[in-house]
Amino acid sequence: MKPWLIGAAGAALATAVLAADEAEPPPLPEPLTDAAYRPVDPAAAGLGQLLFYDRLLSGNRDIACATCHHPRHGTSDGLSLGLGAGGLGLGPGRRPDPAAARPPRRQARNAPALWNLGATELTALFHDGRLEVDESRDSGLRGPVADELLQGLPGMLAAQAIFPLLSHDEMAGPPGSNPVADALAEGRITGPDGAIARILARLEALPAYREGFASAFDDIAAGAPIGLVHVTSALAAFIAFEFRSDTSLYDLHLWGAERLEEDARAGKMLFFGSAGCADCHAGPLFTDHGFHAMGQPQIGPGPDAASLGHGRDTGRARISGRAADAYAFRTPPLRNVTVTGPWGHAGAFTDLAAFLRHHADPVAGLAAYRRQARLPPPEDPADWAVMDDPAARAAIAAAVTRPPVALSAADIAALVAFLDSLTDEDALAGRLGIPEAVPSGLPVDR
């Protein structure tokens, strides 16, 4: 190498070290205030609490939203890939019900946590952003569902609730096991004999729900039937209200009310400074709402197993059709992240420090990846098919464009300490909490 080049590089390095030594703290995001969130109607949120925990919404009355998004597991399920309809139990111990009509299939992706989804800034949901705001459409939304279903909804979060209800694997159950699943299998979604009408009829039949909907919605009080719009609006109101998180130690720190411990402070400097985390985990919600290929290991059946017969998950590219989006996933917001593991869109890491070592250098991390996952039984060799296929692994690595960041073991520990300061005990304890009972009388996951 030419000596003057060494000199130039050396000078640049010295400046960088100097800057770090001067310890000028990098600018921090603004704290979250009420203005960041949509207003929530308390009556709708209260009704949504019951719906969120009520298995009545599932075809075989065996699973609720809360089964996969439980406050005990940071509003996720404690599993790498969860089990939907036909499973038994909650959290890491969840397993197939031996009496189920068909053994349940693993979910294709890790159940995301539901923190701060009532924030107005969000423009997309799901790991691949397949439900998104699109002002050019009448409904204001775009997603893989008939536009007719999206009409009249109050927003993206309400629209999201339609998906698990109409999925055989998540809540509806296998064809042949109940009338909701049968209608779905026959392509009858809307209409008087459709899957949705069959779910709504169950709610109409219970006086407690009829009254709950009437007190939350004026048109129902005036005699209108319970509609999908009401159910999904109530669920969205509950999620926005219950899972708002802006009172972690970090949040108090932003307000100047709390100091972070020394290791968390060091982690904060890295996060917003030299480690570059805030390039993507940006702003008050820790997300740029963008999609990035981070070389995450792919495990499990993948979203295209049934239709295309392979386990690969190309993420955003499946939605956009753009090669540049291959293996890119949405930047997740990070509040309460230390309690929402396993981590990654397929839950391929059960250890947060190991996740971060991979994340800082995804290509090397993928090459060094050793199996770690929390999967419900039975073992399935297909779970590791992509990781066992050198060409598939190489494709995931080839999509990474972000240069690696060198982080020492101490840096990783400091980042974990900083992420821990995002744990919000008040939000985890819940506002409305887990209901004692639900109108259907079915068991509540607790």
Contacts to ligand HEC by CB under 6 A: 63, 65, 67-69, 82, 84, 107, 109, 111-112, 114, 117, 125-127, 157, 160-161, 164-165, 170-171, 235, 271, 275-277, 279-281, 292, 294, 296, 329, 331-332, 334, 337, 340, 343-345, 355-356, 359-360, 402, 415, 419
Q: How far is CA 53 from its chain centroid? A: 18
For β-strands 87-88 and 95-96, DSSP reports them as antiparallel
CB closer to ligand HEC out of 36 and 111: 111
Residue (of 82, 78, 233, 84) closest to 150 by Cα position: 233
CB closer to ligand HEC out of 68 and 149: 68
Buried/exposed code over 357-387 (b: 16+ C-beta within 10 A; e: otherwise): bbbbbbbebbeebeebbbbbeeeeeebbbbb
CB of 294 to ligand HEC, least distance (A): 4
Other C-beta atoms closer than 10 Å to the C-beta of 439 total 19
CB of 374 to ligand HEC, least distance (A): 13
CB of 298 to ligand HEC, least distance (A): 9
CB closer to ligand HEC out of 220 and 269: 269
CB closer to ligand HEC out of 7 and 127: 127
CB closer to ligand HEC out of 355 and 369: 355
CB closer to ligand HEC out of 257 and 403: 403
CB closer to ligand HEC out of 68 and 189: 68
CB of 344 to ligand HEC, least distance (A): 4
CB closer to ligand HEC out of 251 and 411: 411
CB of 135 to ligand HEC, least distance (A): 20
Please check whether residue 373 is in contact with residue 355, taking contact to mean a CB–CB distance below 8 angstroms. no
Q: How far is CA 119 from its chain centroid? A: 14
CB of 139 to ligand HEC, least distance (A): 17
CA distances to 120, 123, 446 from 133, rounded to whole Å, are: 11, 5, 34
Please check whether residue 178 is in contact with residue 160, taking contact to mean a CB–CB distance below 8 angstroms. no
Calpha distance 70→388 (Å, rounded): 32
CB of 134 to ligand HEC, least distance (A): 16
Calpha distance 135→178 (Å, rounded): 37
Supply the DSSP symbol for 84: -
CB of 6 to ligand HEC, least distance (A): 28
To the nearest 10 degrees (0 to 180), the angle between helices 409-420 and 262-272 is 100
